[in-house]
Amino acid sequence: MHPAYSVIFFTTATGAGYGLLAFLGVAGGFGLIEGGFWFRLVSLGLALALISAGLLSSTAHLGRPERAWRAFSQWRSSWLSREGVASVATFVPAGLFGIGWVLLGKQGGWVAATGLLSAIAAAVTVCTTAMIYASLKPIAQWSSKFTLPGYLIFAAMTGSVLFNALLALLDEPRTPAMLFAIVSGMVGWGWKSATWQHNDSLVATTTLNSATGLAGGTVRSIEWPHTEENYLLKEMGFAVARKHAMKLRVIAQALAFAAPLFMLATAFSFSDIGGLAVVLSVAAALSQLAGMLVERWLFFAEAKHTVTLYYGR
């Protein structure tokens, strides 16, 4: 698939935003963190800003963005529509949580309930986003057991690193959040490595022979169905050279996993040195977001649609 920048930004930003919202909903609502007014305002504002920016950017990939609202009506059969419904519904408990936790400064009771609902809604929305791709059987790289858990793992990973950075910036207790960020980063790295290994081992089960039902000999395409590239070739027939893919995988691993883990581990070891821990925590979050943009680009670029068989690819 040809990677559209709007979709790359969408999946990266909303994943981090929903992950951060889930952490804030649980930790803030149940009093696991105190947090002053500015911490609450900035952290929840950042989570909702990332979610909103990501959702708005996704409309740029539509042929007619002004008709995006029509997608909400197809929730019975479309994961894209379910994602739209879930994303909008998430703002309801998140808004109520914000009123109680940020404006009123309360925890527990109905604030905890709305915080928990916000976390659940965030997880559900991430699942619907993942299922948009996991449900596409013609794309073997997406239609696998790795896609849905991967989206949830990366949302938790980027959300926890952002959560830790905010705690560090506003001088809040951060050791448990830092530990979770380190663990989730290790899990994310392992999951991504396993995903790449699985994708590299895939063998095409569909050929021109099986697609056309012609047995015996080798079926090959003599001419294209048309003279110019169309939407299918631009979106589903994008090819990235393997040597470039390998380089990008190294960059993604370095920025999204290795560098953040090293910086977080260092910050944890020297947590008593406040300034150093703050710099490393913020740098880890920025590095990871940059790395996830590269990882998302590869997620789309390395996907191969079965339809490309008809074009001799």
Question: For the domain that residue 112 is a member of, what is the CATH number?
Answer: 1.20.1630
pLDDT at 223: 67
CB 294 within 8 A of CB 287: no
Lowest mean per-residue pLDDT among 76-90, 234-248, 281-295: 234-248
Whether pLDDT at 271 is above 70 = no
Structure token digits, residue 241? 């050279």
Q: Where are the alpha helices (DSSP H) in the chain?
A: 5-29, 37-58, 79-98, 109-134, 147-169, 175-200, 208-212, 231-236, 242-253, 259-269, 274-301
Mean pLDDT, the chain, integer? 86
* Average pLDDT over every residue of 229-247: 68
The region that residue 35 occupies, defined by phi over 0 for left and psi between -120 and 50 for alpha, beta otherwise, is left
* Average pLDDT over every residue of 144-166: 96
Whether pLDDT at 174 is above 90 = no
Structure token digits, residue 289? 């977001």
pLDDT at 132: 92
pLDDT at 156: 97
3-state secondary structure (DSSP) of residue 139: strand
- How many CB atoms within 10 Å of residue 76? 7
Q: Is the dihedral of CA 112, 116, 122, 125 positive or negative?
A: negative
Instruction: Provide the number of structural domains found in the chain.
Output: 1
Q: 103, 116, 87, 99: which is closest to 22 by C-alpha?
A: 116
pTM: 0.89
* 7-55 pLDDT per residue, tens: 899 999 999 999 999 999 999 999 888 778 989 999 999 999 999 999 8
* Phi, psi torsion values for 283, nearest 5 degrees: -60, -35
Whether pLDDT at 162 is above 90 = yes
Confidence of residue 173 (pLDDT cuts 50, 70, 90): low
pLDDT at 35: 79
* 187-226 pLDDT per residue, tens: 999 999 999 999 988 876 676 676 667 766 777 766 666 6
Whether pLDDT at 240 is above 80 = no
3-state secondary structure (DSSP) of residue 305: strand
Whether pLDDT at 286 is above 60 = yes
Domain that holds residue 192: 5-311
* Average pLDDT over every residue of 228-246: 67
DSSP 93: H
Burial state string for 194-215 with b = 16 or more CB within 10 A and e = fewer than 16: ebbeebeeeeeeeeeeeeeeee
